[in-house]
């Protein structure tokens, strides 16, 4: 799902929001496999972006097919954090009876990973051509580990300048989101790769929102989430819309 209207020098990516598992991959998995720790409901949470002409790239493919925020040559079978294709879920539970072959992994990269990044690169390049700069927000969600509502990362200042982060954090705090910068989530391969590709005209941030800030204020275990607290969800969406639009307006003038 793509939206390429250009009102702001901003691209917002949702690499882990998809839930689709092709039958050929689902049938390869254990029947008991649980697709946990997905970025549940994020396109719905941020659906206001299209009203402001914000360019988005939204994956409909599950992160358990391929992880779009990893380097394509990254594979460590016993650690999902270091693998472009997972053999275990994020709780460490094995997904397959037997290990994936190099051919299976290569096919997933060719079929799902490369097209996503080709489109993302196209969008970023168009913004730079139009505005002379681009801001990429790589949006994710998390649970349990930390108390903050929202965590922002720029690889300890390597993928964006200080002013970019400061503006974003101040606007989020203005609308009552607690924040953390870089000490928790610093950013994955995506913002690092495109910063190395484009240099200073590229400003990249990873944005992580706590499940408890928009889904429900409860414990989340090894589960697939199918519903959210409507009151909490609506409140988070209203505040996010105000914070992000104000941020984008300021970024456009920097």
What is the chain's length?
254
Residues 14, 56: contact at Cβ < 8 Å? yes
In a domain, 207, yes or no: yes
Question: Does any domain span residue 89?
Answer: no
CA angle 213, 215, 218 (to 5 degrees): 80
Question: Could you tell me if residue 45 is inside a domain?
Answer: yes
Is 77 inside a domain boundary?
A: no
Interval 38-51: pLDDT, tens:
999 999 999 999 99
* pLDDT confidence bin for 4, thresholds 50/70/90: very low
Q: Encode pLDDT of 124-139 as tens digits.
A: 999 999 999 999 999 9
Domain extent, residue 167, equals: 2-21+36-66+108-253
Number of independent structural domains in the chain: 1
Find out whether 170 and 250 touch, Cβ atoms under 8 Å: no
pLDDT band at 79 (very low <50, low <70, confident <90, very high): confident
CA separation for the pair 140, 13 (Å, rounded): 9
pLDDT(2) > 60: no
Specify if 203 maps to a domain. yes
Give the pLDDT of residue 184. Answer: 83
- What is the chain's mean pLDDT, rounded? 94
Residue 209 has pLDDT above 90, yes or no: yes
In a domain, 155, yes or no: yes
Residue 201's nearest CA partner among 7, 11, 5 is 11
What is the C-alpha separation between 250 and 245, in angstroms, rounded?
9
Q: Is residue 202 part of a domain?
A: yes
pTM of the model: 0.94
CATH number where 218 lies: 3.40.630.40
pLDDT exceeds 50 at position 3 = no
More confident: 80 or 150: 150
């Amino acid at each position: 799902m793509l939206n390429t209207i250009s009102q702001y020098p901003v691209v917002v990516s949702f690499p882990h929001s998809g839930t689709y598992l092709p039958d050929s991959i689902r049938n390869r998995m254990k029947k008991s496999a649980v697709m946990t720790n997905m970025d549940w409901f994020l396109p719905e949470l941020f659906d206001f972006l299209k009203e402001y002409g914000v360019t988005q790239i939204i994956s409909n493919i599950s992160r358990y097919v391929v992880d779009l925020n990893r380097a394509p040559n990254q594979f460590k079978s016993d650690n999902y954090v270091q693998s472009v294709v997972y053999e275990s879920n994020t709780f460490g539970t094995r997904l397959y009876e037997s290990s994936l072959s190099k051919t299976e992994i290569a096919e997933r990269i060719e079929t799902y990973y490369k097209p996503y990044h080709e489109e993302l690169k196209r969008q970023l390049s168009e913004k730079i051509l139009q505005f002379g700069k681009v801001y990429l927000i790589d949006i994710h969600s998390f649970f349990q580990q930390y108390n903050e509502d929202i965590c922002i990362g720029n690889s300890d200042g390597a993928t964006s300048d200080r002013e970019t982060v400061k503006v974003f954090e101040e606007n989020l705090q203005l609308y009552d989101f607690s924040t953390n910068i870089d000490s928790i989530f610093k950013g994955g391969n995506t913002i690092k790769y495109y910063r190395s590709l484009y240099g200073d005209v590229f400003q990249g941030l990873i944005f992580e929102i706590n499940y408890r800030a928009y889904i429900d204020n409860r414990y989340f275990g090894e589960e697939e989430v199918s519903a959210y607290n409507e009151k909490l969800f609506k409140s988070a969406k209203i505040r996010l819309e105000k914070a992000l639009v104000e941020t984008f307006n300021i970024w456009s003038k920097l």
